[in-house]
Structure formats: structure tokens, C-alpha cells
């Protein structure tokens, strides 16, 4: 889903760049306010993991492959703004170091995967887990659905951008993008829930997700246990 140079018009890329830059600037402020010496290395490890996992393409239907995104994973672990920053950094390194994604399109890529993926995905996760009765099943259901949606909505955003850029009509691109990414999204949901589940079992203290109210909620629900150490 890394858009190369040449797919989108400069206007779209400029618009998404401005939005993404603004969101990242705000995100840096938020992270600045709440993260300390403990959280930063955790951000580093999460970002490195997301980058590594994104390299591992898995075959999907008919000669196509997909890969893990990690937007919701990062956001649920460290909070939506840290999630955005992580996705942005991974995308920047991929673009500049590996020519994966065009530099002119970096705003659009960050918008689709960072803003829609991390912020939007986290919002969906938060909404679902708030609306459903508290408990382990709701938590993982919210996680699975928001992970799946982060992929599908990100792909939709790309289809919209391609349509506005007149690179390909919406009614042509949208079904094709959503079709493939609906399947990739299942992979994302599985990997995200498995990874978070593992972390909750082994190192629950790593689920930083900064707001204390959220940690309180998870502890109350018996999902997150205060680390006895």
C-alpha cells in the first residue's frame, strides 16, 4: 500500500502532507508531554518490530501478497499519537532508505497508514471497547475489528486519492483495493490480536497506552494485571 511517486497529483500529495505534518506535530507535543525514559525505548522496539514485520509479505489470493501494517498494534500498545509517530517514522525510513513509497507521496502514505490507520484505527478500537460490555472478549473483538478496518479504510483512502488524482476511477479501483485488502485485513487482525495477547500474558507492563484512565479500565476488567514487580 506504499504509494509511489507519479500515482497521485501534486495537489493531493501536498494536501495530505499538510494534514499529516500537522497531525505529527501535534502528536509529538502529546508524546512529549506524557512519555518518559521508560516509554521511548519501548517506542523504538515497537517501531523496529513494525518495520521488520512489514518486510514479511504473505501470499493472499491470486498472485498477490500482503503484509502486516502494525498501526493498531502500535496505537493500542503506546497510545494513538505514539502510534502515528511510529508509523510515520517507519514510512520515512522505508521511503528514504529503501525507495518503498515515493517521497512526493509521503504525505498520502502517512495519511492512509498513520492517520487513518493508527489514529482512526485506535478511535475505532476505543469506540468498540467502550460500547461493548467490559471483558476480555470485547477487548479482543475490538482489537480484531479495528485492525481489520485499519487496513480496509486505509485502502479505501488510497482508492479515493487515486480517483481524485484521475489516475484510476473510483468505481474501478475501490472494489479491487477493498477486495484484496479485506483479505489482508484478516491477516492483520490475527497478527495484532496474537501479538497483543502474547504481550499481555508475558509483559503486561509494556501495554503503556498512556492515559491512566485506560490502564485503570484494563486493570479493572482483569485484562491487564498490575505487574507485581
Partner 1 sequence: MVLILSPFASSSPDGLEKVAQAKGFSHKGEQWSLWHYAPMRDYAIPWIKNEMVSTAFSGMIGILAIFLLILGFGQLVRKRSKT
Interacting residues with partner 1 (CB under 8 A): 1-7, 28, 31-33, 35-37, 40-41, 43-45, 47-48, 51-53, 55-60, 63-67, 85-86, 89-90, 93-100, 102-104, 155, 158, 162, 167-168, 172-173, 176-177, 180-181, 184
Which helix (H) or strand (E) segment holds residue 10: the answer is: helix 10-34
Nearer to partner 1, 15 or 123 (CB): 15
Of residues 39 and 139, the one with the C-beta less far from partner 1? 39
CB 3 within 8 A of CB 101: yes
Three-class DSSP category at 58: strand
Q: Which of left, alpha, beta for 209 (phi over 0: left; psi -120 to 50: alpha)? A: left
CB of 32 to partner 1, least distance (A): 5
Q: What is the CA radius of gyration of the chain?
A: 17
H/E stretch holding 50 reads helix 39-54
CB nearer to partner 1: give 69 or 72. 69
- For the bound state, the minimum distance from the C-beta of residue 108 to partner 1, rounded and expressed in Å, comes to 11
Of residues 118 and 128, the one with the C-beta less far from partner 1: 118
C-alpha cell at 52: 521488520
Report in angstroms how near the CB of residue 119 gets to partner 1 at its nearest.
18
For residue 152, the surrounding DSSP H or E stretch is helix 136-164
Closest CB 54 distance from partner 1, rounded Å:
10
Nearest approach in angstroms of CB 63 to partner 1 is 5
18/56 with CB nearer partner 1: 56
Spatial CA neighbour of 104 closest among 18, 24, 25, 8: 8
How near is the Cβ of 173 to partner 1 at its closest, in Å? 6
Nearer to partner 1, 6 or 135 (CB): 6
C-alpha to C-alpha distance for 18 and 80, rounded to whole angstroms:
19
Amino acid at each position: 500500500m506504499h504509494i509511489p511517486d507519479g500515482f497521485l497529483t501534486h495537489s493531493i500529495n501536498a494536501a495530505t502532507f499538510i494534514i499529516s505534518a500537522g497531525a505529527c506535530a501535534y502528536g509529538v507535543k502529546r508524546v512529549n508531554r506524557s512519555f518518559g525514559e521508560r516509554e521511548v525505548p519501548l517506542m523504538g522496539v515497537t517501531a523496529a518490530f513494525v518495520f521488520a514485520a512489514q518486510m514479511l509479505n504473505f501470499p493472499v489470493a491470486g498472485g498477490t501478497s500482503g503484509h502486516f501494517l502494525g498501526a493498531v498494534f502500535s496505537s493500542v500498545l503506546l497510545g494513538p499519537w505514539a502510534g502515528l509517530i511510529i508509523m510515520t517514522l517507519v514510512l520515512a525510513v522505508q521511503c528514504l532508505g529503501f525507495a518503498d513509497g515515493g517521497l512526493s507521496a509521503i504525505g498520502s502514505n502517512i495519511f492512509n497508514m498513520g492517520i487513518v490507520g493508527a489514529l482512526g484505527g485506535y478511535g475505532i478500537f476505543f469506540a468498540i471497547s467502550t460500547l461493548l460490555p467490559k471483558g476480555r472478549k470485547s477487548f479482543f473483538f475490538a482489537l480484531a475489528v479495528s485492525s481489520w478496518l485499519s487496513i480496509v479504510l486505509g485502502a479505501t483512502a488510497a482508492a479515493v486519492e487515486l480517483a481524485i488524482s484521475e489516475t484510476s476511477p473510483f468505481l474501478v479501483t475501490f472494489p479491487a483495493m477493498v477486495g484484496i485488502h479485506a483479505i489482508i485485513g484478516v491477516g492483520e487482525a490475527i497478527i495484532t490480536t496474537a501479538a497483543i495477547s502474547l504481550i499481555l500474558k508475558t509483559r503486561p507492563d509494556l501495554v503503556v497506552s498512556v492515559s491512566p484512565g485506560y490502564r485503570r479500565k484494563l486493570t479493572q476488567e482483569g485484562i491487564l494485571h498490575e505487574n507485581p514487580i
